[in-house]
């Protein structure tokens, strides 16, 4: 059962990062969230592809949002580990992330994140992200 829905999660992102371009929460379903990031020239790198930091940012954000969807607004949760494998060159269109919680404990949460271009079924990257949850917020 999720505690926060699409609108609440999007509001938290906008309030937490004022003035920043934040990804869009598209769906929340059980232990999973789907997010998108509109891609512009700023996200590119030589060779006509997306930069690695752009993909890592979306993976990290999607994992954080997946945690909050389950436990509520745990704004002080922090990334303790992010492992990413870049699998293929993504298209220069919206970057999508599907994050699913693998473990939600009292102190740690682990999420599996798949990154892909909108409209594609092939993964561009796959990440595993671990978050440390502050004990006073849960």
Instruction: Read off the pLDDT of residues 97-127 as tens digits, 9 standing for 90 and up.
Output: 999 999 999 999 999 999 999 999 899 999 9
Residue 8 has a pLDDT of 96
Q: What integer is the mean pLDDT of 67-96?
A: 92
Which string of b and e fits 17-49 if b means at least 16 CB within 10 Å? eeeeebbebbebeebbbbbbbebeeebeeeeeb
- Within a domain: 114: yes
Query: What is the domain extent for residue 39?
Result: 6-137
Residue 78 has a pLDDT of 93
Residue 137 has pLDDT above 70, yes or no: no
- Within a domain: 23: yes
Residue 138 has pLDDT above 60, yes or no: no
Of 87 and 48, the one with more pLDDT: 87
- Within a domain: 73: yes
- Within a domain: 62: yes
Residue 11 has a pLDDT of 95
- Within a domain: 1: no
How high does pLDDT run on average in the chain? Answer: 91
Percent of the chain predicted with pLDDT > 70 = 96
The number of distinct structural domains making up the chain is: 1
Residue 1 has a pLDDT of 54
Task: Give the CATH number of the domain where residue 47 resides.
Answer: 3.10.129.10
Rounded-to-integer distance, Cα 32 and Cα 102, Å: 10
């Amino acid at each position: 059962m999720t505690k926060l829905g699409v609108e609440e999660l999007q509001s938290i992102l906008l309030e937490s990062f004022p003035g920043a371009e934040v990804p869009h929460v598209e769906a929340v379903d059980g232990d999973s969230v789907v997010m998108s990031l509109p891609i512009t020239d700023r996200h590119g790198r030589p060779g006509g592809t997306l930069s690695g930091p752009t993909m890592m940012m979306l993976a990290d954000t999607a994992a954080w949002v997946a945690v909050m969807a389950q436990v509520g607004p745990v704004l002080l949760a922090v990334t303790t580990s992010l492992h990413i494998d870049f699998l293929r060159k993504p298209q220069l269109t919206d970057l999508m992330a599907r994050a699913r919680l693998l473990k939600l404990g009292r102190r740690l949460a682990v999420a599996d994140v798949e990154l892909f271009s909108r409209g594609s079924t092939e993964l561009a990257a796959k990440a595993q992200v671990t978050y440390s949850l502050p004990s006073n917020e849960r």
